[in-house]
Structure 1
């Protein structure tokens, strides 16, 4: 195979890879728009629940739980990473934030195959789950996660405090206290909320609704940040690929010029030989 043919074969392979990267970029862009839409809806739901909880706790302060009161054995951190690659240092940033955490003792439950691979030897790891790739996969992952949380709750020492460490949609890795619910302090309403349930039963149900709303919100935020990283990664990869194809195109043209020059030289030499034979 000639050098020019080798260059053209290499260009064909790079063009094929470039097409795959472009398709991945398009899918990441679609997912980014979906997550941004879901985030707005989910954030509004979480805010409404927190407002209701704040009004309730203003008149029932005994139900407000100090999240710092439990020992490390009772704490569980849910650490969210990515299931797929091509997202830059997304998982490395989560691992670095975990190591920098001022709370060295809580047990860890990891979501996301890529991050789990980096933390598989962590001394406090108690389990891991496959993570979602698309918006439609969030709900099945949450179902498996809740089952895992329930199983860990039944295993002594049972966890009573749940935190989440994940990328925020706005950027950066942010720790969240999910349980016990810690709504922001608000102005005490003029009248207490009218309840049709026992206060303990009401607050337990409200906490369940909060968990069911907060976890999807955190997953959507993490996936939004992940796909933004993937878009940036794909952009850089496509730019490098295009630059490489341009370099190979120039090399192919130079090799073609050399072949043409050699062909012309062969023609001239052949003509000179024929003329010499006639003389």
Structure 2
């Protein structure tokens, strides 16, 4: 009798597991369909970014008074975490770049901006750093890229 009961319990457990696996498959399919729908928008964003990079890299003459060492740096931080000290290392690099004359710094991501603020010595002079929105998920990419291009 106990063997039959054990078999029934095992069959019930296998039925539950089958339902869980099916639910996971359904979630994976829904995510795949969502990503496929976002593909055209991502391709358009990539094209827009490539055009922007071409414009930024254009070897046009520098404006009057601009030095050869003048640079604009876009430093892109991690928004989600799980990256160890990535933002802290970037914040250190931002501080080093900032010490050089003629450097304009744009920080993409609030976590990076917070890490940079935390790493600055007390009483340090205010620095011309622009904080841009960061992207923590695929759904946020298009508005974030638009904000960067508007900057």
Tell me which of the two structures has the higher relative contact order, counting C-alpha pairs closer than 8 angstroms and 6 or more residues apart. Answer: 1
Larger Rg: 1
Could you state the TM-score of these two structures normalised by the residue count of structure 1?
Answer: 0.29
